[in-house]
Structure 1
Amino acid sequence: MDINMEGNEDEAWVDVKADAEELGVDETFIDAMQHMSRWNGHWRRIARARTWRVRVARQEEAWGRVLDEVIKAYVCWKYQSPDEVESIASGRSADNEPEQTYDYTVGVYDIFTRTTQLTIQRKGDSISPAIDLIRHGYLAKSPTRPSVAVAIATLELLYRLRQRKPSYSIEAFAKVVCDYYNIPYRRYLQEVFADTFEVYLRIIWHVHKSILEALGWGTPDWRVKNACRACCYKVRRHNSCNSNLENEPPLRFGRLIAMDGNNSLKRMATAAHRVAGDTRSLEDSDYFLSSDFVNRFANEVHGRATKGPAVKHKGQDSDEDSDEDLDGPETEGDPTDGLHPSNGAAAGNEAQDARRRRLALCVKNWKSAAKDEKKKMWAIFDESGVFAAACCHGFVLWIMDMVCSGELAKYPFAIVAKTLELLGERPLIGYNVGCTFSVTTERSSLGPAFTAAGGAFCVCAFHGYSHSYDCQLEFHPNVIEGAGLEDLETMERLFSMTNALASVTRYASPYRRRLFIEAYLWQLDEDKHLSLGTFLLNNYKQALHIVDQQANDYKQAMTSLGITTADLDQWEVEQSNFFSRLGEEEPYNVHAIAYVERLQELRDLDSRRQRANTNFLSYIPGEGVNYTRDLAATRRAETEHRHANERYERVYADVCALKIQMGLVARWTTTSPEYVAVMKYLKERKYQRALRKLQKLVTQRLFELQRLNVAQTGYKMRTHITKSLQTWCKAIQAAITSLNAAAAALVPPRPPINWSEIGGYQFLEQIRRAEEELLRLNVEVRRLHTAIRDERILFNQTLVRLNDTNDSLFGPVKEFIERRRRVNNHLLSRIHDIYKLPGFRGTRGPGTREGSAPPENGQDLDPDLVPDDDAAHDDEVDVLEGDEEQDALGHLVEFISGLSTS
């Protein structure tokens, strides 16, 4: 639909202004354009914007009128018998009498048949050619008068490719189709496949929702509450000999959740004065939280007023990007701003203030990194990333867009609010700044409810090693009772997969971006359900290995050393107290250290002074006539003599001042008890500093290794990282040498560290967490087995009901059930593998879900559900590839994280 500027141009501009007002374009801009010469072409831009937006709106309205019928026709085409499909497609009535029809021809694309044109028979009373085309297996680009259609089989292939390779673009697929047809690439085909693929996604999503409703799984928030069977399917144990029902063993934390933000899934904003044509929004999303809900928590935390770049809010013009605009406080705070006094962090007792200062140190690097993100580049993005949450098994719970901002506090607040609303009591939430966000939550409106629910925060294991030592002793999952062996780095694994979506969503419309993201998350959850059994099996083996092979060594070591569990608990308290005071030396110790260091320096300078004096006084010019050379040598000796005396006098003055400051009567000597005590402390401090340096280098190398494994890293970047790793390896080796030298100087000497012995170290926290892991796994395995048994019963009942009522959903529901049964067979094989483990400690067999009646007699037996023996040869075991050095480095990280520095 083009704007005709010929004839009465004033009337044409009236139409343009009316459309511009609808589009939100400033009227003064239109007036200025009207007075410009016609050749500049500005009016054509408005015409194109008007055309695109009106076209999209009208096409969406047209699809809305026929979408229900299109979905029914799709179900009929895919799941009915061939005779029924042929009868419908040929235009025959129920009594097999032909009805009045006429021919309709469209161009088609089908890589399987390479058909270029299709002629169908349309009924005279047909309401849309899209319905008639889909009955023949083709999806029209437009619902009204389509001139082109794409085969559903071709779109299904595109869908499968995109689900497995999200970076695969529609443009690339269009080129593949052109290659199949042996024709040059045509750019308009990208739009053809994009429009039809979008409608195809909507169709299969509506069919999927209908399947869930038929199974009773279509209630609001059903997916969040029930998708992960190991988390949600709580079981009670039925004792056939006793009418009493015994609940499953209680767990310290009801749910283990991870959350984090990611800035890869950005979306470009429109240029200045440009209006997007596609203004649709995905309202009925099953994953995305609405902006209205998230913005409820926008004012919970206020940003601290600091000098630096501010948030570029949506709608701010580019002319306003002056330096003055960037030098103001943010109106919204980030997850760590709860520590600031402006957010209720008033001065408390000494312990609270000290704890707040220590937690503030944990996020120093996090805040520095955040400043790099808060740049004017946010102005070019409408969505600057996503914030998401998932359970410990990898099932996505919620996701939300970060709109023109960084990782503000309102995003994790929204996750906490939804967790309290839907997921029950006692959640443990892992977050890379969970230590400080716990304080932020306490001071928010969610604080009382979160505390009453028994919730807690922790720092994810990998990020936790970069936090302060005392923070690790409180917030690292290795030391949290009830966390098991879970590292809660789930979001890093999730984002490593969703990052591939960035290339195909960066320039998409908001509607299509969310549609593609949601479709991919749906596939990820399907994959997580398939691999859940292997996940539990591998975790069970890991926990048994720690408990069976290391617990005995641990008990023998305690017996040989003559220590008890009470001793270990006391040492843990002392360790915590030590790290809480780490870096805070008493004033006397500071003066004593400075005094001893000056005494050592004075002793060295005294020997140098005496040597310089001797050289100067005993210097005799050589015989001969070279007066210039003798004069230079004399001056060098005199200068060395003078400088040695001046340095000695300065240090001597410092020694005297410190002696007076400390109130000493006599100068300390090397045999003085005080001097000996300070020297011992200096040696220990040197050892501690060497230990901290080694840990820092290992942590830095781990970050480099993580980046090295990122997909699609360029060759030059990989080369640079590889060289950096070689440097870090040398630095680590040097740090180990320094640590061993410092350890040897201690009294008594500490044992040296070497690469071959590090792999043998294990820690008490790991053994304790392994016992907890087994308890949780016993619960989760039984939950999964119970869910599989209950699903079989539900599936049989649903199929019988749909078949008896001749429901059109019988076909799609049957297809869904058949795949789900195969997946359940695979899971059951893994469950039986767990039951066969020598150290299995749980209850074999399914139980009864809370809130449901026990199964009838015979339903516990499952003749259709047999273990998948072939699956035993196709384990999805996560193996870290690498050489012996990388394996040793992993043990080194664990060793250093548990070393005592006292």
Structure 2
Amino acid sequence: MYEIPVFTSDTYNNTSYVRSGYLPFNPLLNKSLVSFQTIELYHHLFMRCPRLGIQPFVRALCDLQGVRFKNNLSVQISAAYDLYIRLVEGVRLKVRQALGRDSSNWRMLNNCPCCQYEVVGELELAIRMLLGIDGNNSLKRFQRREPPSEDGKSLGPEKEREDNRIGGGDYFLQPEAVDLWDESQWHKWPGWTPKERSPKIPCEDRWSNLKESNTNRTFGHFDVNGIFGGFCRHSFTIVFLDMIRTGEHSKYMLALLNHFMSASREDRQRLGLPENPSGSLGVGYDIACGMTAKIIRSPLNDLAQKERLSMMIGLLHGYAHNRLCQLSFLLLYIQGAGIEDLEVCERYFAQSNALAPVTRYMGRFRRRQAIANYAYHRDNMESYHNLSRFIVSNYKQALGILSRSRNTACTLRAVGLLDVKNAAVWLDEEKAYLESHQDIPEEDTTKSSYYLALGKLWECQDELRRARATFRMESGPPSELNIDHANQLRQMVNKQEMEAKLLLDVQSLEERLGLQRDQRWKRDSEAWNSARELVQTAKYRKAADKLEGLTVARIFELSKMNVAGTGYKMRQHIGDAMKKRSKAILSALEEYNACAASLKPPRKLLDWDDILNYTYLSEFNFLRESRADILDKPWAKPAVQEAMSELFKLIRAGEEIDRLHVEIKRLLTYMKEEEEYFATVVRRHRDNDEPLAYQIWLHGRERSRFNEVHRTRLKSIQKLKGFTVSNSHFFQPGIGARRQTVDGTEVVDAEAEGQNPNNENSDESETEDEEDERTEAILTIANDPV
């Protein structure tokens, strides 16, 4: 299949390398063949354009050859393509074995150089690694079934062709490992004891995937309803999980985190590293608030504490959460998060969705095979190529934020925030207040119910009195009454039955409130007016919730329109939906203003311009509060909120610079040591197995072809305006803490053990000192005259 390559000075002369050979369509009857180059061309086209299926490719070949297309050609080329993938994966396995990288979790733990290639003596980060996890329902798989039953209530039996192959390799976690994390299976985990159910989550009504009743449902003819994936912040794949006959169930999140954290812990133990990691593991998820409570109740809790798991909410979804969730999980308020948005899943799925038209009707094996090959290609050809671009972009963005420090200092002075440390104190006060008012007191709920029931009773009694006054009973039997009198009699009887029902409800609520019959509330009494205010406030908050929900949808639609890859028809559809949404927002705005005017004292009325400016939805949370003393708090004022946001952006930008320095050092070290390691392994196998040596060299070129681009881009950072010359030492290669020896086994450098003790307590103290230094620097700017 391959010609023997020509070896020249530790590299191979690629110009003399010619791919040749043919692949059969059938292992027994080789009447027809296809050239290896043709299948290889399709593979690379498919990796670059996943929408390109085999059939349009074969049709194009038929057009070139001037022959008529036949359906069996697609089947034959598909079989040849399976053989090609089998050969490629076999070669990759032999290469990984020669490199000592054939363990099941090696790729997952070493895929991203910037996140996972630790360097001796590097700066310890408060968050050692940032991951994004989420579900995607585009990559479904249609299950072939017989026609449904005659009544149409049940699907027909499965008629899939038997295929026992398991595709996907180490990119997929098997369903058996996932099902162990279903809540019904928790009792099987040794040492786990059930815990009390967590309290109601404030955001539960906003996110359908927080409700198990929604995520447990199946979707018609689909066998797989999508994938659940995890990625580092640089878009390198961690692992995929098939969502089989369910929606975005919590078991997928638990299984993924357990798989990654368990593998990381075992890897540290094998290498003799300290058992406890030096920094936390930051994981971004759109419903992190609810999943944190789920983790605490699950068997994963012990491992999560040991691995210092920290759940976070990405910026795109974060501002649609309740304010209390934002204060606990939003990246803006988390130390060490930098300016990362952790919306990597949205960006990844926006591109991988192109696979959906091709993989939807594939078998289980071929679907997984296609997704895994796409992920491999994206990791090595896209994500690795974009590493330095990502670093340069974030460095520029962080320097741009830091350049606004003088303006931010003026804003802080204008709102009276002269001591920067007060910002953290005010956040704690706000969080404590929201936690204390998270649940409505039961007594207030009972009073509101009694007020409404009593009002309905009085209204019913008034209608009954009017009906009795207008009804005139004529003499004679009921059969002789005219139709009008019969209808009046029927209505009066209905009102009497309604009065009896309402009276029972009122008496039941009076028992709960401890009221005697003679203590029943009167109209305009003090208790009546107090309950009326509670009901009006509840209506006002409901109107604010409705207005906020429509605004959230509007913001998400706007963000969708700006996503790369959104087609013209989709943009037009979203635009039409936004026009209708605007009418609904106007209606909700009128309802809100009516409720706001009914309060005592009346609340601030909103207009259309206010809604357009509510980009960050935390402002809606203060609309719901009616207590004047809370509105007078400094942290409840919009100007202070905005100033505090700018302050925390400055702090996060400084943290981002520190993280980027670590990543730059890691990337430069990785490139230098990988090039040396591959050259050494190639020399070792050159004499004994030259074809294998050539494949190792090709494997090394997959990433090394971009190394010079990385070095050029990273050098350009030192020329940016605002770059500090004292940070130049981060732009030199260091010593990898997990360098590999020639025989391919991983070792820990002795110098690394001495310089990187990973002491948990010292790490916390150092990060606290860094935080204090940044706040002190901003405080100095704020107090200096402009």
Q: What does residue 775 of structure 2 align with?
A: none
CA offsets, 1:771-820, max 9 Å, x none? 22222122112111111121222233234334454621233333344453
Q: Return the match for 1:463 from 291, 313, 317.
A: 317
Contact 1:301–1:343 (CA under 8 A) maintained in structure 2: no
Distance 1:256 1:371 in 2: 29
Q: What does residue 544 of structure 1 align with?
A: 399
Q: What does residue 365 of structure 1 align with?
A: 208
Pair 1:834 & 2:687 matched: no
**Identical positions, percent:** 28
Q: What does residue 520 of structure 1 align with?
A: 374
Q: Return the match for 1:421 from 240, 262, 267.
A: 262
Q: Return the match for 1:171 from 51, 55, 64.
A: 55
Distance 2:657 2:440 in 1: 43
Over 3 Å counting, the alpha-carbon distance change for 1:486 and 1:680 in structure 2 is farther
SS at match of 2:553: helix
SS at match of 1:150: strand
Contact 2:682–2:693 (CA under 8 A) maintained in structure 1: yes
Contact 1:300–1:410 (CA under 8 A) maintained in structure 2: no
CA offsets, 1:612-634, max 9 Å, x none? xxxxxxxxxxxxxxxxxxxxxxx
Distance 2:542 2:409 in 1: 29
Alignment of 1:141-540 (within 5 A): 141-236=25-120, 247-272=121-146, 275-282=159-166, 285-298=169-182, 344-346=194-196, 356-359=199-202, 361=204, 365-367=208-210, 371=214, 374-375=217-218, 377=220, 380-424=221-265, 425=277, 426-526=280-380, 527-540=382-395
Distance 1:153 1:853 in 2: 35
Q: What does residue 696 of structure 1 align with?
A: 549
Q: What does residue 24 of structure 2 align with?
A: 140
Which ranges in structure 1 are unaligned for 5 or more consecutive residues?
A: 1-72, 87-134, 237-246, 303-330, 333-341, 348-352, 598-656, 669-674, 856-902
Shift of 1:139: 1.4
Q: State TM-score, norm by structure 2.
A: 0.67
CA offsets, 1:299-357, max 9 Å, x none? 5667xxxxxxxxxxxxxxxxxxxxxxxxxxxx99xxxxxxxxx993427xxxxx6xx12
Q: Which amino acid aligns with 1:845?
A: Q
Over 3 Å counting, the alpha-carbon distance change for 1:819 and 1:267 in structure 2 is closer
Q: State TM-score, norm by structure 1.
A: 0.59
Contact 1:261–1:386 (CA under 8 A) maintained in structure 2: yes
Over 3 Å counting, the alpha-carbon distance change for 1:585 and 1:141 in structure 2 is closer
Shift of 1:392: 1.4
Contact 2:204–2:290 (CA under 8 A) maintained in structure 1: no
Distance 2:712 2:90 in 1: 32
Alignment of 1:380-779 (within 5 A): 380-424=221-265, 425=277, 426-526=280-380, 527-550=382-405, 552-554=407-409, 557-558=412-413, 561=416, 563-582=418-437, 584=439, 695-708=548-561, 718-729=571-582, 763=645, 764-779=647-662
SS at match of 2:238: strand
SS at match of 1:183: coil
Shift of 1:169: 0.9
Q: Return the match for 2:736 from 849, 855, 861.
A: 849
Distance 1:725 1:751 in 2: 20
Shift of 1:403: 2.5
Distance 2:450 2:358 in 1: 65
Over 3 Å counting, the alpha-carbon distance change for 1:477 and 1:196 in structure 2 is same
Q: What does residue 792 of structure 1 align with?
A: 675
Shift of 1:693: 5.5
What root-mean-square deviation, in Å, do the aligned CA atoms of Structure 1 and Structure 2 show? 4.7
Over 3 Å counting, the alpha-carbon distance change for 1:559 and 1:701 in structure 2 is closer
Shift of 1:215: 4.0
CA offsets, 1:438-485, max 9 Å, x none? 222222222112112211212333233333221222122222222222
Shift of 1:717: 5.9
Shift of 1:196: 0.6
Shift of 1:522: 0.7
Q: Which amino acid aligns with 1:180?
A: L
Over 3 Å counting, the alpha-carbon distance change for 1:839 and 1:592 in structure 2 is farther
Over 3 Å counting, the alpha-carbon distance change for 1:571 and 1:692 in structure 2 is farther
Q: What does residue 815 of structure 1 align with?
A: 698
Contact 2:174–2:241 (CA under 8 A) maintained in structure 1: yes
Distance 2:579 2:648 in 1: 32
Distance 1:840 1:781 in 2: 14
CA offsets, 1:250-281, max 9 Å, x none? 21222211222222222222324665444131
Aligned length: 620
SS at match of 1:402: strand
Over 3 Å counting, the alpha-carbon distance change for 1:757 and 1:141 in structure 2 is closer
Distance 2:592 2:732 in 1: 53
CA offsets, 1:152-201, max 9 Å, x none? 22112211111011121111111111100111111111011101111111
Distance 1:179 1:268 in 2: 30
Contact 1:370–1:406 (CA under 8 A) maintained in structure 2: no
CA offsets, 1:649-706, max 9 Å, x none? xxxxxxxx99x98999x988xxxxxx9x999999999998787565433311133235
Larger Rg: 1
Q: What does residue 626 of structure 2 align with?
A: none
Distance 1:735 1:78 in 2: 74
Shift of 1:596: 14
Q: Which has the higher contact order (CA 8 A, sep 6+)?
A: 2
Shift of 1:713: 7.5
Distance 1:182 1:498 in 2: 34
